[in-house]
């Protein structure tokens, strides 16, 4: 669905406390979350404004967002 929110806190509400703890204690993790959420906001903005962007470029942005989300989830589940 266009314009849907995919921020990390929204995607993983069951891990809200762990996300906050790791973000406070690990600058690298915090940076990943910030990058993901910034990219999500950009994608939503492009979708909602129907900004001119090619399908391939949009799909690349979404793939990158998904890669970041996967990395963050692995960290949340494994603690590594």
What is the rounded distance in angstroms from the CA atom of residue 64 to the CA atom of residue 31? 15
* Domain spans, the chain: 8-78
pLDDT in tens, 8-48: 999 999 999 999 999 999 999 999 999 999 999 999 998 88
pLDDT computed for residue 50 by the predictor? 74
| Angle in degrees, 0-180, between the axes of helices 27-49 and 16-25, rounded to the nearest 10 | 120
* Cα→Cα distances 68→35, 51, 52, 74, Å: 8, 23, 24, 10
pLDDT computed for residue 3 by the predictor? 67
What is the rounded distance in angstroms from the CA atom of residue 3 to the CA atom of residue 58? 13
Phi and psi at 71, nearest 5°, equal -65, -40
As a whole number of Å, the end-to-end CA separation of the chain is 32
pLDDT in tens, 38-57: 999 999 998 888 777 888 99
What is the rounded distance in angstroms from the CA atom of residue 57 to the CA atom of residue 77? 30
pLDDT computed for residue 1 by the predictor? 56
């Amino acid at each position: 669905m266009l314009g849907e929110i995919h921020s990390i806190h929204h995607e993983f509400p069951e891990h809200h406390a762990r996300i906050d703890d790791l973000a406070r204690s690990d600058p690298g993790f915090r940076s990943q979350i910030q990058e993901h959420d910034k990219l999500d906001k950009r994608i939503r903005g492009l979708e909602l404004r129907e900004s001119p962007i090619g399908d391939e470029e949009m799909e690349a942005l979404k793939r990158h967002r998904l890669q970041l989300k996967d990395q963050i989830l692995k960290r949340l589940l494994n603690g590594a």
